[in-house]
């Protein structure tokens, strides 16, 4: 760089208010303009695939659910499909519809969560609080249907664990009506607000060619105008029958530009799409069994005998999730388990999006792909500035030392804030 003396480095992360999860973005800036970015991930790597390859498949299912709190049904859906293909298990029609309903409800809650975060990154906290307030309703219905606000524990190999009872239908329909009424208001507040538009138009542009070359997925790719949606491209569950079309900004009457504004458009329109899907799925859901293996021991025995490999995929709120599983007869745990989360694919799209932008745009661009670091990172290690790995013993020793230092003389309010 010719003007190297004019540039300086700004570290964003691993811990930073703009990031909800740990990742390190190291920016080379010239004044307010970004001239280079270096991305370092792995701060939330927990070795989940490694753990999974040492546990039986039922345990793996629960582990998959905990890869990420926000996409806590996307990973199980992809995993169950992979295992079902590997072990040759059929899923009853009703179970397929229930999986669709829960995963679309999750999409609504995830997109609303994102909209709130995006507003916060723009410094528009009112919008954050209002979006998150209305998000409570979908969490309530998820709790009603599954027993949990997140980590629903609904899919199991061969079906689902809970049925949707007839008396729950009106509650779901209520929720749909509530959001239908609200959606126009949401679209209006986000897309017609001049200050939001001033901060998002032309910011963090991802050209369609770049999105294609970098294999971007989900709303990140769709905002650039690529009609890429796993539910449409490679139908699974009941999605083929329900008919899903990939949503791009064209559905809002705009030519896609691939900027942050377009990403808001796509995500908000997808909330509407999910509402339609839930409504139709609820109406068309056939009666019948919800699982082909009502007894867990029988399922485990079947899985132990199974030999084969399978791929399962799902369009998570953030994009394509794909799981690959290989089973061997006589072994309870999967021999291979590979998880690919959407952020894994979208990671590289960050670079062209950051280039040439301003420091002020960093948070919203970072947020625009809706990064889910825990999904992506999936050894518990903490590093200091040096290149040496800090082991846990050392860390524990340091933290105890600090505690002692504080309790000895630092805090004047012992008993309140001091640790004994």
Considering only residues 253 to 312 of the shown chain, the ones binding other proteins according to CB under 8 A are 284, 286, 311
Closest CB to other proteins among residues 131, 146? 131
Closest approach, Cβ 392 to other proteins, in A, equals 5
Closest approach, Cβ 390 to other proteins, in A, equals 9
Closest approach, Cβ 374 to other proteins, in A, equals 12
Cis status, amide bond into 14, omega within 30 of 0: yes
**Of residues 112, 237, 269, 306, which one binds other proteins by CB under 8 A?**
237
Q: Provide the mask over 90-109, with x wherever binding to other proteins is found by CB under 8 A and - wherever it is not.
A: x--xx-xx------------
Buried b (16+ CB within 10 A) or exposed e, 266-300: bbbbbbbbbbebbbbbbeebeeeebbbbeeeeebb
Are 344 and 49 contacting, i.e. CB atoms less than 8 angstroms apart? no
In this chain, which stretch among 163-171, 269-277, 294-302, 378-386 interacts with other proteins, using CB under 8 A? 378-386
**Of residues 65, 74, 109, 124, which one binds other proteins by CB under 8 A?**
124
Closest CB to other proteins among residues 2, 379? 379
Helices and strands (DSSP H and E) totals, the chain: 18, 10
**Of residues 4, 385, 393, 420, which one binds other proteins by CB under 8 A?**
393
Q: How far apart are CA 46 and CA 42, in angstroms?
A: 9
DSSP structural state of residue 410:
I
Q: How far apart are CA 129 and CA 415, in angstroms?
A: 34
Are 290 and 94 contacting, i.e. CB atoms less than 8 angstroms apart? yes
What are the DSSP calls for 340-397, one per residue?
E-HHHHHGGGHHHHHTT-BGGGHHHHHHHT---HHHHH----EE-SSSSEEPHHHHHH
Q: Is 389 in the site for other proteins (CB under 8 A)?
A: yes
Closest approach, Cβ 236 to other proteins, in A, equals 6
**Of residues 50, 283, 298, 401, which one binds other proteins by CB under 8 A?**
50
φ, ψ dihedrals at 288, nearest 5°? 135, -170
Q: Provide the mask over 74-93, with x wherever binding to other proteins is found by CB under 8 A and - wherever it is not.
A: -----------x----x--x
Q: Which residue in the block uniquely carries the two structure tokens 């009424």?
A: 181
**Of residues 61, 122, 223, 303, which one binds other proteins by CB under 8 A?**
122
Closest approach, Cβ 381 to other proteins, in A, equals 5
Q: How far apart are CA 277 and CA 283, in angstroms?
A: 10
**C-alpha pair distances (Å), 127 with each of 130, 352, 368:** 5, 28, 16
Closest CB to other proteins among residues 47, 69? 47
Closest approach, Cβ 50 to other proteins, in A, equals 5
Q: Which residue in the block uniquely carries the two structure tokens 């019948």?
A: 288
Closest CB to other proteins among residues 317, 363? 363
Closest CB to other proteins among residues 106, 320? 320
Are 37 and 354 contacting, i.e. CB atoms less than 8 angstroms apart? yes
Q: Which residue in the block uniquely carries the two structure tokens 């779901």?
A: 172
In this chain, which stretch among 64-72, 193-201, 259-267, 291-299 interacts with other proteins, using CB under 8 A? 193-201
**Of residues 1, 9, 294, 398, which one binds other proteins by CB under 8 A?**
9
Site for other proteins in 345-374 (CB under 8 A): 345, 347-348, 358-363
Q: How many CB atoms lie within 10 A of CB 309?
A: 15
**Of residues 66, 171, 234, 304, which one binds other proteins by CB under 8 A?**
234
Encoded tokens for 40: 């370092």
Closest approach, Cβ 26 to other proteins, in A, equals 11
Site for other proteins in 130-169 (CB under 8 A): 130, 133
What are the DSSP calls for 275-318, one per residue?
HHHHHHHHHHPPPS-SBS--SHHHHHHHHHH--EEEEEEEEETT
Tell me, by CB under 8 A, how many residues bind other proteins: 98
**Of residues 63, 70, 142, 226, which one binds other proteins by CB under 8 A?**
226
Closest approach, Cβ 286 to other proteins, in A, equals 6
Q: Is 125 in the site for other proteins (CB under 8 A)?
A: yes
Q: Is 62 in the site for other proteins (CB under 8 A)?
A: no
């Amino acid at each position: 760089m010719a003007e190297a003396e004019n540039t300086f480095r700004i570290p964003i992360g691993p811990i930073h208010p703009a990031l909800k999860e740990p990742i390190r973005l190291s920016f080379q800036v010239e004044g307010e303009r970004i001239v280079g970015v270096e991305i370092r991930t792995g701060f939330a790597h927990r070795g989940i695939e490694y753990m999974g390859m040492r546990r039986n498949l039922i345990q793996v299912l629960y582990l998959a659910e905990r890869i990420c709190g926000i996409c806590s049904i996307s990973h199980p859906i992809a995993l169950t499909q992979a295992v079902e293909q590997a072990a040759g298990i059929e899923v009853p029609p009703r179970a397929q519809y229930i999986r669709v309903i829960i995963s679309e409800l999750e999409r609504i809650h995830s997109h609303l969560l994102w909209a709130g975060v995006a507003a916060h990154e723009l410094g528009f906290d009112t919008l954050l609080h209002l979006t998150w307030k209305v998000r409570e309703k979908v969490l309530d219905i998820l709790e009603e249907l599954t027993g949990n606000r997140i980590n629903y524990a609904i899919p199991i190999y061969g079906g689902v664990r809970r049925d949707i009872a007839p008396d729950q239908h009106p509650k779901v329909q209520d929720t749909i009506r509530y959001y239908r009424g609200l959606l126009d208001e949401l679209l209006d507040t986000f897309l017609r607000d001049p200050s939001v538009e001033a901060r998002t138009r032309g910011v963090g542009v991802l050209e369609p060619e770049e999105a294609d070359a970098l294999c971007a997925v989900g709303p990140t790719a769709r905002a650039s105008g690529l009609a890429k949606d796993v539910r449409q491209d490679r139908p699974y569950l009941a999605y083929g029958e329900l008919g899903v079309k990939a949503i791009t900004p064209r559905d809002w009457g705009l030519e896609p530009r691939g900027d942050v504004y377009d990403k808001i458009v796509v995500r908000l329109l997808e909330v509407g799409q999910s509402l339609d899907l839930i409504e139709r799925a609820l109406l068309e859901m056939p009666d019948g069994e919800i699982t082909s293996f009502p007894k867990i021991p029988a399922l485990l025995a079947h899985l132990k005998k199974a030999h084969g490999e399978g791929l399962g995929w799902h369009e998570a709120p953030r994009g394509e999730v794909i799981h690959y599983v290989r089973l061997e007869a006589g072994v309870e745990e999967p021999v291979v388990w590979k998880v690919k989360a959407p952020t894994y694919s979208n990671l590289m799209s960050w670079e062209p999006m950051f280039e040439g932008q301003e420091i002020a745009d960093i948070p919203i661009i970072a947020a625009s792909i809706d990064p889910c670091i825990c999904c992506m990172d999936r050894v518990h290690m903490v590093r200091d500035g040096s290149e040496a790995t800090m082991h846990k013993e050392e860390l524990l020793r340091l933290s105890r030392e600090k505690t002692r230092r504080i309790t000895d003389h630092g805090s004047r309010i012992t008993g309140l804030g001091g640790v004994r």
